[in-house]
Amino acid sequence: MSQEDRQRWNSKYQQTTAPPEPSDFLRSLEGRLPRKGRALDLAGGAGHDACWLARRGLDVTLVDISDVALAQAETLARDAGVPLTHLRLDLESDPLPPGPFDLVVCLNYLWRPLFAAVPRLLAPGGLFVFAQPTRRNLQRHPHPSKRFLLEEGELPALLQGLQSLSFTEDWTDAGRHEARVLAQRRLY
Ligand SMILES: C[S@@+](CC[C@H](N)C(=O)[O-])C[C@H]1O[C@@H](n2cnc3c(N)ncnc32)[C@H](O)[C@@H]1O
């Protein structure tokens, strides 16, 4: 377990309070996401996306390395009156929670080996939502730094065993250059 990563993220979360609003990308997919079943938010941070999914009726599990983020997510869920399962995991080394999930979300976290595990986490027909800035983002923002950024055009090739339903790579309204995908595990 990366104690250094945990401490770094804990101190970031100690200094900020996450906005309770879900990500714009997730909200833009509203009509396409399930309203029942199980969802997994990978590196879900302080729970703004997980709680939004839970409010929509999903049974949500949030995993993250940061205890502070998980405590904030727990508070957010309690305040919203929704159930939320949260697990402290290092996604680079710990086993993933058992599927199948109807929805797996991974926003603003890049660990390339994780893509191989996603089809096994999903139920047949289950959806995967992923977004991460690309290297072009450095033209406007110093962070995230290069090692956390996707190459332009890289994302479709990282998807394994999934069918891409939509892929975009562009400047977002928030001024970030992001690759975004909605993908699906085939039904059979
Ligand atoms: C940029 S934040 C994104 C949080 C959230 N998904 C969002 O979009 O707001 C990255 C998250 O990854 C988590 N993280 C970093 N390394 C991790 C690891 N090895 N295992 C699990 N979570 C990790 C951090 O604690 C942090 O919550």
- Give, using CA atoms, the residue closest to atom 9 of ligand 1: 45
Place of tokens 């690759």: 179
5 lines ligand 1 (CB under 6 A): yes
Asked if residue 11 is part of any domain, the answer here is: no
Contacts of 102 (CB under 8 A, 6+ apart): 34, 36, 37, 38, 39, 58, 122, 123, 125, 126, 127
Residue 181 to residues 79, 166, 170: CA-CA distances in angstroms? 30, 6, 12
Place of tokens 């919203």: 80
pLDDT of residue 18: 67
Could you tell me the two tokens for 18?
Answer: 């996450």
Asked if residue 16 is part of any domain, the answer here is: no
Asked if residue 87 is part of any domain, the answer here is: yes
What is the residue range of 80's domain? 22-185
Nearest to 176 by CA among 53, 49, 16, 24: 24
pLDDT of residue 3: 84
Asked if residue 10 is part of any domain, the answer here is: no
Q: What is the CATH number of the domain that holds 141?
A: 3.40.50.150
Asked if residue 86 is part of any domain, the answer here is: yes
Query: What angle is formed at CA 19 by the lines to CA 29 and CA 68, rounded to 5 degrees?
Result: 110
CB-based contact 46:67 (threshold 8 Å): no
Split into its structural domains, the chain has a count of: 1
Q: Mean pLDDT in runs of 10 for the chain (188 residues)?
A: 84 84 96 98 98 98 97 96 98 97 98 97 98 98 95 96 97 97 92
9 lines ligand 1 (CB under 6 A): yes
Ligand 1 mutation pick, 61, 65, 87, 106, max ligand atoms within 8 A of CB: 65
Asked if residue 82 is part of any domain, the answer here is: yes
Ligand 1 atom closest to the CA of 66, numbered from 1? 25
51 lines ligand 1 (CB under 6 A): no
pLDDT of residue 5: 86
Quick check: bond before 144 cis, omega within 30?
Answer: yes
